[in-house]
Amino acid sequence: MPGEIDIIDVNYGIKQIVMDELRALPKEYVMLVIVKPKNYESTILAFMDIFLNDQKLFGTYITTNKPFRKILAKFLEKGIKADNLFFIDCVTKEAPEESVGGVKVFSSQNVTEINVLLDKAIKSKKRGAEFIFMDSISTLLVYNEEKTVEKFIHALLERIYHWKTKGIFITVETRANELIVENLSLFFDKVVRIE
């Protein structure tokens, strides 16, 4: 099929695709990445490898899919340095702010609190956030109404534009979320589908 990419070495292939897409973007942007479930983890690892290891950026990672400890363990296993990363953990039950191996963690399962925690994370770094990464819009849709998620994403994008930074949002491609992903895609500068 035209436009379809045949990836032989998935990890190398996805990182290369991500790098090619990022090169074409301005310094500040918001990107929606739609992935098949089988490429979800590899896509996240590719972005983090580029941002944290290659470009040495400061960022905030909003996890709605797995507890930050599992994500951090995977990063360490793959050689991804997370020293310049804040986590906002929306999976783990609310816990006080903590620091794990130099990685600052904020925790909340309340969608409306995420913006407050994000402000706090941004202000606590000297260089602010050079990127904000959300690992799963599709998970938010499981636990929240579509309109709530849409309003939340829109508010978050406004903040990202205000902070003049990069914003990357991942969503897993499913039939159930096709319509909302299509509606949300209107808010983004770039929409990438990784088959």
Q: How far apart are CA 167 and CA 115, in angstroms?
A: 14
- CB atoms closer than 10 angstroms to residue 177: 20
Question: CB–CB of 7/13 below 8 Å?
Answer: yes
Could you tell me the pTM of the whole model? 0.83
The DSSP secondary structure of 132-193, one letter per residue, reads EEES-HHHHHHHS-HHHHHHHHHHHHHHHHHHT-EEEEEEE--STTHHHHHHHHTT-SEEEE
Q: How far apart are CA 148 and CA 153, in angstroms?
A: 9
Q: 10-14+27-194, superfamily in CATH?
A: P-loop containing nucleotide triphosphate hydrolases (3.40.50.300)
Supply the pLDDT for residue 91.
Answer: 78
Domain ranges of the chain: 10-14+27-194
Question: CB–CB of 21/28 below 8 Å?
Answer: no
Query: Mind listing the pLDDT tens digit of every residue in the chain (195 residues)?
Result: 333 333 334 455 788 878 888 888 888 999 998 888 888 999 999 999 999 999 999 888 988 888 888 898 999 999 999 888 888 887 776 554 555 555 566 655 566 677 777 777 676 665 557 899 999 887 777 777 788 888 888 888 888 888 888 999 998 887 777 777 788 888 899 888 887
